[in-house]
């Protein structure tokens, strides 16, 4: 039996509103009815992995409310092990409002602004034996922003690191929401030594973190001979900087964009699925590009493809 990928992270609901490019003026455009979907960077990646036929255990917190119950049901429907998903009556499951524009780009706002239930994961909630026996641990910068989840995530990363379990971290800095806080820089200084694979948007996250002007130089700097850095580059695909200092661009796939929400999470799931299947980092980036490309042709962060769809785009039997 394959060892599961453990995803530690946030789970919320996304309220999607298709938004016209121009909403001012004397004649107000007609707005389509909002759509409610499962969301959260961690939960999205977990669902993506499950649909790529990878066994997944999800670690996180939801509130004992309608949104929380919806999340639990959605994850279970995709076959994800939710035995380490804590349900608490004293916290609120967050909602992300996503305004989706005609070009597929989006504007996000979160309620409650302090992150809600996912921020309440505690170190004592971490399933130590599950992580020690996992095939992979994945988490995101969302889980490093607030306490106590910050300490819980770092604890889980330390457990995995000591057990020889590969650890991936998606920066997910969301600078447009929270800015570049010094406290986050200090936390990342603690997290990076425990990280084997670092994901992030090239110009929006990898460059600011490294404080280097070009994406290739920034990725190589962060790799530092110790880890693989994967800089997502949108339509251009991804740039992969290996620990030996080699950086290579992996081309993306041309598709018609409907909604970019969750594209990075979909990429991560494709990349991790390839790595646990035994492929190298460059081939894994192709899987990530294919998974993200298929996702952005559909609306909703959870509109991730099946393994068969990804294999077809990759030209594999």
Active-site residue, from 74, 78, 170, 265? 265
| 277-309 exposure pattern, b = at least 16 Cβ within 10 A, e = fewer | eeeebbbbbbbbbbbbbbbbeebbbbbbbebee
Strand partners, 108: 98
Phi, then psi, of 282 in degrees rounded to 5: -70, -45
Residue with tokens 């996912």: 118
CB 141 within 8 A of CB 110: no
- Give Cα 299 distance to the centre of its chain: 17
d(CA 312, CA 308): 6
The count of residues in the chain is 317
Strand partners, 100: 18, 106
d(CA 206, CA 216): 9
d(CA 85, CA 89): 13
| Beta strands at 5-8 and 56-63: parallel, antiparallel or unpaired | parallel
The question of whether 244 is a catalytic residue gets the answer: no
Is the backbone peptide bond immediately before 148 cis, with ω within 30 degrees of 0?
yes
Return the active site residues.
265
């Amino acid at each position: 039996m394959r060892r599961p990928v453990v995803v530690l992270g946030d789970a919320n609901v996304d309220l999607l509103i298709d938004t016209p490019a121009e909403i001012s003026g004397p004649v107000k455009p007609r707005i389509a009815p909002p759509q409610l979907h499962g969301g959260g960077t961690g939960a999205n990646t977990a669902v993506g992995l499950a649909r790529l036929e990878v066994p997944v255990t999800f670690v996180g917190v939801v509130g004992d409310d309608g949104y929380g119950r919806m999340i639990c049901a959605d994850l279970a429907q995709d076959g994800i092990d939710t035995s380490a998903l804590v349900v608490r009556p004293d916290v609120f499951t967050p909602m992300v409002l996503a305004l989706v524009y005609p070009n597929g780009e989006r504007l996000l706002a979160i309620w409650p602004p302090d992150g809600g239930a996912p921020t309440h994961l505690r170190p004592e909630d971490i399933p130590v034996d599950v992580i020690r026996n996992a095939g992979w641990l994945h988490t995101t910068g969302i889980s490093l922003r607030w306490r106590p989840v910050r300490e819980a995530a770092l604890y889980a990363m330390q457990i995995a690191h000591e057990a020889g379990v590969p650890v991936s971290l998606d920066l997910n800095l969301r600078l447009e929401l929270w800015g570049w806080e010094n406290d986050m820089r200090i936390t990342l200084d603690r997290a990076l030594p425990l990280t084997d694979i670092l994901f992030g948007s090239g110009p929006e996250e990898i460059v600011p973190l490294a404080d280097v002007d070009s994406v290739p130089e920034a990725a190589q700097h962060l790799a530092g001979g110790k880890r693989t850095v994967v800089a997502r580059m949108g339509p251009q695909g991804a740039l992969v900087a290996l620990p030996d200092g080699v950086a290579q661009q992996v081309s993306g796939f041309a598709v018609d964009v409907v909604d970019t929400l969750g594209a990075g999470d979909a990429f991560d799931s494709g990349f991790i699925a390839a790595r646990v299947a035994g492929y190298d980092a460059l081939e894994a980036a192709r899987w990530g590009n294919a998974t993200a490309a298929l996702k952005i042709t559909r609306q909703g962060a959870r509109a991730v493809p099946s393994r068969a769809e990804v294999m077809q785009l990759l030209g594999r039997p």
